[in-house]
Amino acid sequence: MNEVLWRPSKARIQACRMDAFRHEVNRRFDLQLSDYDSLHRWSIDQRAAFWQTLADYFAVCWHRPATAVLDEGPQMPDARWFSGATLNFAEHLLRRRDSHPALIAVREDGERQVISHAQLAAQVAGLQRSFQAVGIGVGDRVAACMPNTWQTLVAMLACTSLGAIWSCSSPEFGTHGIIDRFGQIEPKLLMVCAGYQYAGNTIDQVDKINEVLARLPSLEQLLVVPYTRTPTRSDEFHSNAHVSLWDDFYQAGGEPQFTPLPFDHPLYILYSSGTTGVPKCIVHSAGGVLLQHLKEHGLHNDLGPTDVLFYYTTCGWMMWNWLASGLAVGSTLVLYDGSPLYPGPERLIDLIDSEQISAFGTSAKYLAALEHAHVQPRLSHRLDSLKLLLSTGSPLSPESYDYVYREFKADLCLASMSGGTDICSCFVIGNPVLPVRRGQIQCKSLGMAVEVWDANGQALIGEKGELVCTRHFPAMPLGFWHDAQGKRFRAAYFSQYPGVWAQGDYAEQTPEGGMLIHGRSDAVLNPGGVRIGTAEIYRQVEKIDDVLESVAIGQRWHNDVRVVLFVRLREGLQLDDTLQAQIRQVIRSNTTPRHVPAVIAAVSDIPRTISGKIVELAIRNVVHGEPVKNTDALANPEALEQFRDRPELRDQA
C-alpha cells in the first residue's frame, strides 16, 4: 500500500505555489521549514499566522481589515476568525477582466458556449441590477434548481455580490427533495429551467416546478431560464410570486458592485444527503469558504491563470461550489451538463483534449466504470494538457490508482481527496510536492489538524478509527439553519468527542503520513464485534471484472451481525457458485476471514443519492423491514425494492 506510483520532479516542485508559499512563510517568520510536514505542523501550531499569511499570499481584498485574526473560545466550535474584517466573496471570483475564457459551458448534446472574464463580469453586473430591482439584498435567500450551466454560475455571483445567501439543487431532484431543502430556507427568489437533458432524453420540468411552487409561500420572484425547453409564456407557471423569463428579467450593462460583508457572513446553504430524514441545512461563511478554496485550488492543486479546471458535478453537490471557486485563482472552468457516460464512456475524456483541461475531476465510481468498460485513454486521446486528476465522492481503490497510471499517463498527480458538504472543502487532499502512493490520499490539508482517534480519544497510526479535526478552522460551518442555539449542530459533530470535530468517516493514517478512508462510520460493519469499513470490502470486489459495483451492509443475525454483499454484475452474467467462490476468495486473501460476506446476492441496480453516493444505511433499513424516511433524496429510489424481503436473508432455521 506504500508503493510510490508518481513522484514530482525537482523542477516541478520548485515551480509550484506550494513550495513558493513555504519559502514565503520562512522569509516572513525567519523560519527554516524544510518540507511539507514541517509546513503543515506550523500551519496547525500557528493557525492565526498561517491563515493571515495565506490571505496575504492570495491578495484577499479586505474592505476593512481585521481587528483580530482568531478569537477562540474554551472549545470548538466557539471561535471567530478575522473579527471586524469585511470582504465580498464574488469580488474575488471576478478579479480578472480580460478576454481569456472564464467559463466554457458544454452540454451533452454538444452545444458549447465560451464566456470571457470580462463578459462574465458584465453578465454578473446585469443580473445584479435585476436582482436589486426585485428587492434582493443582504441576508435574502436565492435558490436555484438548475443544470450546471453558465447562467447558474452568473446567478450565484450576482447573489453573493449583494450579500444574499445562495442555495442550489439540481433538476433531477424529485419534488419532495426540492421542497425538503428550499422549504426550510424560504427563498425570496427561485431560479429554474423549464427542461433539461440527460442520457439522450429531454425532461420537461414544468409540472414538477408547479408542484414545488405550491409549497413555497415565501417566494416573491420566479426566474425561468431557457434551456432544453423554452417556455413561451410566463403563465405556464402557477405561483403567487411574480414570474419572469430570463430575457425579460435580465438588465444588461454596467460594472458589478460588491457589498462589503463580515468575514462570517452566510454565503451558501448546502444540504446533508437527507436519506435518514429531512436534510440538514448547513450554513457556510463567505470568508471561510474563500480562504479554504484559495488554499485548496492555489496550493494543493497548484492551479493558476493558465489552467483549465473541470469537475464532473451537478449543482446539487458541494463540488459545484468548489469548482466555482477555481475562478478565485484565475483559472478557466469547464462546466458540463449531462450524463458522464453518454453516448459512451469516453465522453468526459474527450473534453480533456478538446478544452485543454489541466485538472480533471471526477468520482471514484466513474474511474471504476471506465476500467470496467476497458477504456484506455492513453491510446485514444492525447492528454498532453493533463497534469492533475482529482477524485472524491467515495474512497479510491488501489486498483483504480493502478488503472490511472497504466491507462491515462505516467506523469500525472492523482489526487484523491476527502472532506464533505459539512465543510464545503477537504480535510485530506492531494499535494504537488509529495509522491503519490498506491491507495493513499497524499496528505492532511494545510491548517487542518486532522487525526485518527480510537474510542478513548487516543491518536492512532496504522490503525483504523474515527477521522477527527482537533483545532478550529475558518471553513467550519456557521451552523444549521433554524438552529439558533446550535444544539443540532453540536450534536452532529461534537457529541462523540466534546470540543473535537468528528467527521463520521472511518479512517486510517499511514506511517508515511498518507490517509485511507474506509467508509462512513455509521455504515461500519461489526461482525463478532470487529469493526470493518465497507470500503475495505469494495476495494477487493472491484478487482473482479464480472462485478460492476457492490454494496455491503451488516444484517442483524442471531444476536450478532453478519456481512451481506449485494453485487451488480455485467449484463448477461449470473451469480453462480463459481463467481461467489471467487468473490469470497479475493476478499479473504486480501483482508481477513471476518470481511468475507456470509451472503452474496445479485441485484440489477444499487440505490444512490443524487450526487452518486451509495446509500448503505437506506439499504440496511429495507433489509431489516424498517422505513426509509426520505426516498426523494435518491436518484433511483425504485432500486430499494430489490432489497426488501430477500429469501436468502431470512432465517431458515
Domains of the chain: total: 1
- Quote the domain boundaries for residue 562: 524-649
In a domain, 601, yes or no: yes
* Dist. CA 494–CA 502, nearest whole Å: 6
Percentage, residues of the chain above pLDDT 70: 98
Mean pLDDT of 192-198: 92
The pLDDT, as a whole number, for residue 174 is 83
In a domain, 33, yes or no: no
Instruction: Out of 59-68, 107-116, 587-596, pick the least confident.
Output: 587-596
* Dist. CA 76–CA 548, nearest whole Å: 42
The pLDDT, as a whole number, for residue 274 is 65
Mean pLDDT of 555-577: 92
Length of the chain: 653
Checking if the pLDDT of 315 tops 60, the result is yes
In a domain, 223, yes or no: no
In a domain, 638, yes or no: yes
Alpha carbon 80 to its chain's center:
25
In a domain, 78, yes or no: no
Characterize the bridge pairing of strands 242-245 and 79-83. unpaired
Instruction: Count Cβ atoms below 10 Å from residue 21 Cβ, excluding itself.
Output: 21
* Dist. CA 506–CA 273, nearest whole Å: 18
* Dist. CA 176–CA 394, nearest whole Å: 26
For residue 634, what is the domain's CATH number? 3.30.300.30
The pLDDT, as a whole number, for residue 172 is 86
In a domain, 85, yes or no: no
**pLDDT band, residue 653 (cuts 50/70/90):** very low
503-517 pLDDT, tens per residue?
999 999 999 999 999
Q: What's the grid cell of residue 467?
A: 477521522
The pLDDT, as a whole number, for residue 548 is 93
Mean pLDDT of 198-210: 92
In a domain, 427, yes or no: no
Checking if the pLDDT of 598 tops 80, the result is yes
Give the global pTM: 0.90
In a domain, 420, yes or no: no
